[in-house]
Amino acid sequence: MNVKVSLTLNAKKYDIDVEEDFAHFLTSHMKHDFQIEGNNDLRALLQAYVRSNFALYTQEKEITALIEKIQTV
């Protein structure tokens, strides 16, 4: 089942349809990065984007290190 998640950027409200289980995850992370009930500027969006990509970068490095460790065993 799809759920709508909303965010206001530069005084324009955006609604995104996502799966219900992902909506809970997304909403909890968005509360950390944005003002859910208020307006957000593009700087907040860019900062959230960079933080998210850094987390992915870190996870990828950790996964690669684990794969290399497993292959040497």
Domain that holds residue 36: 2-72
Q: State the total domains in the chain.
A: 1
- Cα–Cα dist 39/10, whole Å: 6
Element (H, E) at 56: helix 42-72
Sheet with 12-19, edge to edge strand ranges: 12-19, 2-9, 39-40
35-46 pLDDT per residue, tens: 999 999 999 999
**pTM for this one?**
0.79
21-30 pLDDT per residue, tens: 999 999 999 9
Structure tokens at 25: 């995850």
Pairing, β 12-19 against β 2-9: antiparallel
The whole-number pLDDT of residue 15 equals 97
- Rounded to 5 degrees, what are φ and ψ at 37? -90, -10
